[in-house]
Amino acid sequence: MSHWVPELLAPAGSLEKLKVAILYGANAVYLGGQKFGLRSAAENFTLEELEEGVQFAHERNAQVYVVLNSFFHDKDFDSLGEFIQKLDEFKVDAVIVSDPGVIKYISENSNLEVHLSTQASCLNVESAKLWKRLGVTRVVLGREVSVAEAAKIKKEAGLEVEMFIHGSMCMAYSGNCVISNFTQGRDSNRGGCAHSCRFEYKLEGDNPITGDSFSKNSFFMSSKDLEGIRVLPEFINGEIDSLKVEGRMKSHLYAGTISKVYSEALAYYRDHGDFLSDELKTWEEELTKVTHRAYTEASLVEPASRDSIYDEREHEINEYSAVGSVLEARNEEGAKYLLVEVRSAFNVGEKLELLPFKGRAIEFTLDFIKNVMDEDLERTRPGSLVKVPYVEGAGQWNLLRRRLEQ
Ligand code: SF4
């Protein structure tokens, strides 16, 4: 018997990351075009890339949502019509919007489905009902909402709900913040957030009880990263439609690993109707292998508290790094190798891990490295194509990673 599970929605910061996320198991991806999104530093998609990305996704039964979530000034509407016409033509599955004026415009001028961005901070049933009346079919709820509250919103407002399950947190109400504007001159609501909440600040004042003056440095606004793997049963029982992973500006290794872990966990539940704690431990361990800060469940179950504060200098835990992607896996008599595009240099004799689309990572030793002319190499150069030993089960777009010295 097969059990219902939610959609897994992964970030696609580039066309290559879109392919990686889908091949590693994401059911849907979200991405930004070159305008109107909130990630100005992400490698946003050109129209040609967008068309190719939608086609790649649809051929694999995956959905593509395009982010249009900045708050608009009147002049921004000038080029909106042309852009949404293209999205309609490419058969994009939905757009993610926060500005009510933009929702109205898109509903009146296209056939595109509209999802409400988390930026609009929808946290309750009445608000969700209002957005539904405006034509929204799904709300991406604010990170302040618990899974139990989300289940109630879905049931009583009668529309789809999407929640964040993994990734960096924002300390403001879903991005409604101007600290970055004032401290760095970078507008958070137009894609420029400088993560000012993660900096160290000096607190000075007088203790209201003793009258003593104090002065101390603190990271009081800095959040740990969200990880919801142990909350999966609640997401499933609450029939939360979509589980979203934050991180359009993060690496290929992040897009692949997080998609793989959560999709394997969801597939396990679909087949067994339960999770075993041994499996959960393995998935949790895998989630520590991407660059991250300490993890928290934030407000998924109980409101986030002091435990969610990352009380240290800006520092990310990084156990593994990506060294390349497999372009071809050749397993023929006289031609047995992986053709690899190198991202980060590696040497003959090193041990690497290949991350298959399904199943555990496979460790192997670089007994040889050759260039495309079949000449032996001792060390690779980033950006080059090289041949390395064949690994059973390897396929195109598999990622290769290296364990870093601890
Ligand atoms: S500075 Fe921090 S709180 Fe403000 S928008 Fe950026 S992530 Fe959110």
Helix and strand totals (H; E) in the chain: 10, 19
Tell which of 281, 306, 331 closes a domain: 306
pLDDT at residue 41, rounded to an integer: 52
Query: 194 CA distance to ligand 1 centroid (A)?
Result: 7
Domain that holds residue 292: 7-171+224-306
pTM (2 d.p.) = 0.93
Q: How far is the CA of 198 from the centre of ligand 1 (A)?
A: 8
Strands 94-97 and 114-116 come out as: parallel
CATH label of the domain that carries residue 164? 3.20.20.70
> What local confidence, expressed as pLDDT, does residue 186 receive?
84
Residue 386's DSSP bridge partners are: 340, 371
Give domain status of residue 181, yes or no: no
pLDDT of residue 11: 97
Are 234 and 380 members of one domain? Answer: no
Nearest CA to ligand 1 atom 8: 170
Q: Of all helices (H) and strands (E), which one includes residue 204?
A: strand 201-206
Q: Which two tokens stand for residue 357?
A: 């689309």
pLDDT at residue number 277? 82
Whether 70 and 126 map to the same domain: the answer is yes
Same domain, 76 and 142: yes
Q: Helices marked H in 215-293 — which ranges?
A: 232-237, 252-272, 277-287
Q: What angle do CA 23, 25, 29 make, to 5 degrees?
A: 85
- Token pair recorded at residue 246: 């934050």
Let me know whether 288 and 325 are in one domain: no
Atom of ligand 1 lying closest to residue 180 CA: 1
Report the domain count for the chain.
Answer: 2
Ligand 1 atom closest to the CA of 172, numbered from 1: 3
- Whether residues 70 and 144 share a domain: the answer is yes
Give the total residue count for the chain.
Answer: 406
The reply to whether 155 and 291 lie within a common domain is: yes
**Mean pLDDT in consecutive groups of 10 residues from the start of the chain, 406 residues:** 96 95 98 74 82 98 94 90 95 96 96 96 97 97 96 98 96 81 81 84 89 88 94 97 95 95 96 90 93 93 89 74 95 93 96 95 97 96 96 94 82
Judgement on whether residues 228 and 368 belong to the same structural domain of the protein = no
* Residue appearing with tokens 């080059």: 384
What is the model's pLDDT at position 28?
98
Q: Which of 243, 233, 241 is nearest to 269 (CA)?
A: 233
Residue 43 located in a structural domain: yes
Residue 193 Cα: closest atom of ligand 1: 6
Mark whether 325 and 398 lie in a shared domain.
yes
Residue 312 lies in a domain: no
pLDDT reported for residue 121:
93
Instruction: State the Cα–Cα distance between residues 357 and 325, nearest whole angstrom.
Output: 12
What is residue 403's predicted lDDT score, i.e. its pLDDT?
Answer: 92
Residue 19, class by beta-carbon neighbours within 10 Å (0-12 exposed, 13-18 middle, 19+ buried)?
buried
User: Torsion angle of alpha carbons 43, 44, 45, 47, nearest 10°?
Assistant: -130
- pLDDT reported for residue 177: 83
pLDDT of residue 1: 84
Query: 338 and 293, same structural domain?
Result: no
Q: What was the pLDDT predicted at 224?
A: 93
Domain assignment present for residue 16? The answer is: yes
Residue 105 lies in a domain: yes
Asked if 33 and 44 touch (Cβ cutoff 8 Å), the reply is: yes
Whether 242 and 228 have beta carbons less than 8 Å apart is answered as no
**Residue 331 maps to which CATH number?**
2.40.30.10
Domain membership flag for residue 180: no
**67 and 117 inside one domain:** yes
Tell me, yes or no, whether 387 lies in a domain.
yes
CA distance 62 to 93: 9
- Is residue 147 in a domain? yes
Ligand 1 mean position, distance from CA 337 (Å)? 46
**For a pocket test of ligand 1, which of 38, 69, 117, 193 has the largest count of ligand atoms closer than 8 A to its C-beta?**
193
Query: Based on the domain organization, do 273 and 370 belong to the same domain?
Result: no
Domain boundary among 306, 336, 368: 306
> Are 253 and 379 in the same domain?
no
Nearest alpha carbon to residue 261 among 12, 13, 21 = 21
Neighbour tally for 379: CB within 10 Å: 12
Task: Specify the pLDDT at position 273.
Answer: 93
- The residue out of 306, 338, 368 marking a domain boundary is 306
Q: Measured in angstroms, how far is the CA atom of residue 169 from the centroid of ligand 1?
A: 8
